[in-house]
Amino acid sequence: MMKGNKPSVLVVEDDVPIRNLITTTLEMEKYKFDTAENGNQAIMLAAANNPDIILMDLGLPDIDGIEVIRKIRTWSVAPIIVISARSDEKDKVSALDVGADDYLTKPFSVTELSARLRATTRRIQYIMHADNTNESVFKNGNLEIDYSAGVVKVSGEEVHLMPLEYSLLCLLAQNIGKVLTYRFILEKVWQNGITSDISSLRVYMASLRKKLEKDKEHSAYIQTHIGVGYRMVSAEDIS
């Protein structure tokens, strides 16, 4: 991941003017990129080149973008930013549920696209440097985070998290016992977080909790403070 200073990007977009706008922006900001015009090509390039970030249109000519995301997620944890004309909240939630990391609605500005890319790059760097704590391994009851390896285990069994889920978990772990407000989490993990991203945060937090709570005897690692934010609870408090 991120072999150079700039991440590599896969652009999946069948609309030529929009694809040209995106690639021109990427060229100006010196990103390396590949382009795909349909879902099958996107899956092939994602598998062959292992991009750092994927920009994904949903309205593709052969396969719906939701299904493309679902297939790519079977092997890749690269952040996926959806760029779509579908503005309905159900479409946004569906994309986030299958593994998208962010959602940009058409029409969009070059400035906003650039900001989303910078925020995603910072998230990648956050994950890569999540071992900047004094301990390389965090333990809380049956939950274990090996920062150096980027591995999360519950009761000794590895839990596979998406990049944004891992970032959220690391942030909570590094502030165990503290209530983190929505705004604080969005600023730290989304970087360009705004109030409207709270719905996305809730989707990801629900997904993260579901993955951590397979052991029902220890199902309260993450506590919701309604209207405020989230807190990681110490195993001592759980017991």
Residue 122 belongs to a domain with what CATH number? 3.40.50.2300
Annotate the chain with DSSP letters as a single string: ---SSS-EEEEE---HHHHHHHHHHHHHTT-EEEEESSHHHHHHHHHHH--SEEEE-S--SSS-HHHHHHHHTTT----EEEEES---HHHHHHHHHHT--EEEESS--HHHHHHHHHHHHHHHHHHHTTT-SS-SEEEETTEEEETTTTEEEETTEEE---HHHHHHHHHHHTTTTSEEEHHHHIIIIISS--GGGHHHHHHHHHHHHHHHTTSGGG--SEEEETTTEEEEPPHHHH-
- Give the number of domains in the chain: 2
Is 2 contained in some domain?
A: no
Q: 216 pLDDT band (50/70/90 cuts)?
A: low
Q: pLDDT tens digits for 4-59?
A: 568 899 999 999 999 999 999 999 999 999 999 999 999 999 988 889 999 999 99
116 shares a domain with 21: yes
What was the pLDDT predicted at 26? Answer: 95
Is 148 contained in some domain?
A: no
123 shares a domain with 168: no
178 shares a domain with 114: no
Domain around 43: 8-128
102 shares a domain with 176: no
103 shares a domain with 17: yes
